[in-house]
A and B are shown apart, each in its own frame.
Chain A
Amino acid sequence: MSSALAGWLQAGLLVAALAACYVPLGNYLAHVFTSDKDWRVERFLFRLMGIDRNADQRWGVYVRSILAFSAVSVLFLYGLQRLQDHLMLSEGMTAVPPATAWNTAASFVTNTNWQNYAGESTMGYLVQMTGLAVQQFLSAAVGLVVAIAMIRGFIRSRTDKLGNFWVDVTRASIRLLLPLAIVGGLILIAGGSIMNFHPYETYTTLSGAKQTIPGGPVGSMEIIKDMGNNGGGFFNTNSAHPYENPNPFTNWFEIFTLLLIPFATPRAFGKMVKDNKQGYALVAVMACIWLLAVGGISFFEAHYGVGGATAAQIAHGATEGVETRFGTSGCSLFAASTTVTSTGAVNCFHDSLTPFGGGIALFDIALGEIAPGGIGAGMYGILILAIVTVFVGGLMVGRTPEYIGKKIRPVEMKYAALYFLTLPTVILIATGLSIGTHQGQSAIFNPGPHGLTEIVYAFASEANNNGSAFAGLGTSLGWYQTLGGIVMLLGRFAPELFALGLAGSLARQQPVPASAGTLDTRTPLFVGMVIGVILVLVGLTYFPALALGPFAEGLH
């Protein structure tokens, strides 16, 4: 079998598996957040937390609960890293330096999982297990519940209540993430992902040298890293490391878990608004963009050009930073899927991708993580873009725009515009500041236009809570650690604030019945319009940066 055909079959199986999960998982997701019956363990946890499970929160209170929880989490995670040398299971690691600890705490609480440290030589087992991996569950749950609260904005009327944050997060973790993590984690471990608490042990190799092999609770973290669209690996080289991602099957399975929940969430949306076709329209937008990304990166990694003077052309293959067992097709499929889902795990190194392949990875992130996006975050992101599309459509035909029975008025559009403007503003300002400072420039690893791409990619990744990197960039400098932490927090919580504000405003409205002038948002026409709006908005916003970085390098 040719490697191209094998690559397409690999992607085809993925599409089939995701399609098969769409209805059952989406329905289950909707059930998790609409069921009135608490499980016994949930009732026990609510008592332990001292919350009134029936107290619905206004949108402002919902936001403040998220911020309060996240602030506590950042402090806790920072403290845990700073004190790890005094705690058990530190494996002899020293306290994490302050700037690294700050960056990492912000990174894991925001679901970004940007890593400016090497796991196996920085973080002990205790921090990985009770600090980082816990946030991988909870930050994923937070993303998901914001999406659910936003959907409630569409289905509720004449209220300003969006649900209870504490109840939602508990449900998301107990009913969805934990059961899936246990099953998925065992599959990864069966494949060879390690799960032990051994101290690092030194052996004599076959040829008589010494080799020290690390251990660790890897499998349990690996699954939630992928399934929660976190991306922060136990080891420095993430999903390229054979102890995280041991074989071609686990690789396929990891890609599947990256996409699983984000692709099923539109079904939950359709189910909750009682119109499944609305879900199909949004998932179609996501699927089209994802497949374009997969096709694009696969194409450029396989067709690196012949007879030229680039490293891949001289070597007869774009295999730098690629593991043999995955091949370039396994690398491309992973790279596209990790950048469109805000996961940021990597199984091959994006800095070493071909200029256009890496450029597409950057473009995927710049899209704002909506196709299908991070867990929950993709859903509220695409809802905002659907609202923008409805608005644009309304302008064209001169009608009041409506979406899912709610009017899109100036106040809703203000929230949507603020949501959309936050990320480019943060990314481009941070990039500009970095290029203008000595420290910012000194971190560049690869010369020429590629160096600019490294910096743009870093802040796009952090602001969009992706976490992958053009990892040559020396981000262990204080400048990148401090600024990066701020960028990640802004990139996570400002959009969530605007999304929930929009939801609160929608929830107060009385639904309007669809009329002859209502744009039908369940048609292929609408799907095409949303894709158009996304590509045009992002394309125009980032065109200068993309032109000076990847385009300049690739066309050189």
Chain B
Amino acid sequence: MNRLPTVIRQHLAGLRLLLIFTVICGIIYPLVMWGLAQWLFPRQANGSLVSYQGRTVGSSLLCQEFVNAKGQPLPQYFQPRPSFAIVGWSLKEVKGKWVVEGMGPNNYGCNPLYSSASNLGNNNPAQIQFVKQRQRQIAKFDHVAISKIPSDAVTASGSGLDPDITPANAAIQVDRVAKARHITPAQVEALVRTYTTGRTLGFLGAPVVNVLLLNIALDEQYPV
């Protein structure tokens, strides 16, 4: 061993250190964490999955799209934020208008295999066009004034998988959901309140409404 040149000996020492710590930090440590996690926090460790009528319908931590076969939003459900979690999306300019093109069979967003932000800058003409376009769509869909639409409804989330909307965003959707389900806005508002979470400890983060849990409660109590 000592007869080898120093350079070789150092690289061999490096290799041994790497292999030893690959076993410790790369195999033993994650397996211990996995064991502890599955024992102590199995629901969280397995993805916070939620069931409805005996089947798993998704995760309370991941958004899902509530759209029909043509990709249009379903009025009886609260709608999540715009999402760029779309298979292999790219930005294209078609006849002076910016469009987002995906490569999948359905390109709605909220696809957990392709978490993504838009990365569009504040002064990017495409971003400005998208915000205005979404405002017009929501104004028409929910019959609200553009000035009433909160920013989270017209901007894409960071992960593309944001499970939440702001209480203000939920509020503008109440009337439309109530009408589609033939119930009163007050009944919907009561459920929205149930699924609204304030700031953690009163000051961490922001108040949110979990869209999937709210929509499940709606289906459960006021089926269409």
Contacts and interface: CB of A to CB of B under 8 A. Distances in A.
A450 B17 contact: no
A207 B77 contact: yes
A217 B77 CA distance: 33
Contacts of A325: 162, 164, 205-206, 208
B89 to A, nearest CB: 12
B159 A206 contact: no
A470 B58 CA distance: 31
B75 to A, nearest CB: 12
B45 A204 contact: no
A543 B161 CA distance: 37
Top 8 nearest A-B pairs (CB, nearest first) are: A248-B205, A317-B151, A327-B206, A240-B158, A472-B119, A130-B26, A69-B14, A446-B121
A181 B47 contact: no
Interface string B43-61: 0111111001001111101
B115 A206 contact: no
20 contacts: A48-B20, A49-B17, A72-B11, A173-B25, A182-B29, A189-B33, A205-B58, A215-B47, A240-B115, A241-B159, A242-B59, A243-B47, A248-B200, A251-B204, A252-B205, A319-B155, A321-B117, A324-B152, A324-B165, A472-B119
Given A49-B17, A190-B44, A217-B30, A319 B22 contact: no
Contacts of A465: none
A209 interface: yes
Interface in A12-51: 13, 45, 48-51
A309 B132 CA distance: 11
B1 A324 contact: no
Contacts of A556: 123
Given A182-B29, A323-B159, 19 more contacts: A6-B202, A10-B205, A65-B10, A69-B13, A195-B34, A204-B57, A213-B62, A214-B112, A217-B30, A220-B34, A224-B25, A237-B116, A246-B48, A247-B205, A311-B130, A323-B158, A324-B206, A325-B162, A330-B204
A310 interface: yes
Interface in B197-218: 199-206, 208, 212, 215-216
Interface residues on B, range: 35 or more
A471 to B, nearest CB: 5
A196 B64 contact: no
A209 B120 CA distance: 28
B119 A352 contact: yes
A209 B73 CA distance: 13
A185 B45 CA distance: 11
A293 interface: no
Given A192-B44, A193-B44, A206 B215 contact: yes
B203 A1 contact: yes
A195 B45 contact: yes
A9 B33 CA distance: 32
A194 interface: yes
Contact of B55 (A204, A209, A220, A349): A204
Contacts of A327: 205-206
Given A205-B57, A248-B199, A446-B120, A315 B154 contact: yes
Interface string A327-346: 10111000000000000001
B44 A352 contact: no
Given A211-B112, A311-B120, A206 B58 contact: yes
B113 A121 contact: yes
Contacts of A196: 34, 37-38, 45-47
A10 B159 CA distance: 22
Contact of B22 (A134, A186, A193, A205): A134
Given A118-B115, A186-B40, A206-B212, A242 B121 contact: no
Interface of B: 1, 6-7, 10-11, 13-18, 20-22, 24-27, 29-30, 32-34, 36-38, 40-41, 44-49, 52, 55-59, 61-62, 64-67, 74, 77, 81, 91, 106, 108, 110-125, 127-128, 130-132, 135, 149-152, 154-166, 199-206, 208, 212, 215-216, 219
Contacts of B204: 6, 10, 248-249, 251-252, 330
Interface of A: 1, 3, 5-6, 9-10, 13, 45, 48-51, 64-65, 68-73, 76, 118, 120-121, 129-131, 133-134, 137-138, 166, 169-170, 173-174, 178, 181-182, 185-186, 189-198, 200, 203-207, 209, 211-215, 217, 219-221, 224, 235-237, 240-243, 246-249, 251-252, 304, 309-312, 314-327, 329-331, 346-349, 351-355, 445-448, 450, 470-472, 553, 556
A186 B64 contact: no
B208 to A, nearest CB: 5
Nearest to A354: B122
Contacts of A237: 115-117, 158-161
Nearest to B36: A186
Contacts of B130: 311
A314 B115 CA distance: 26
Contacts of B57: 203-206
A242 B159 contact: yes
A66 to B, nearest CB: 9
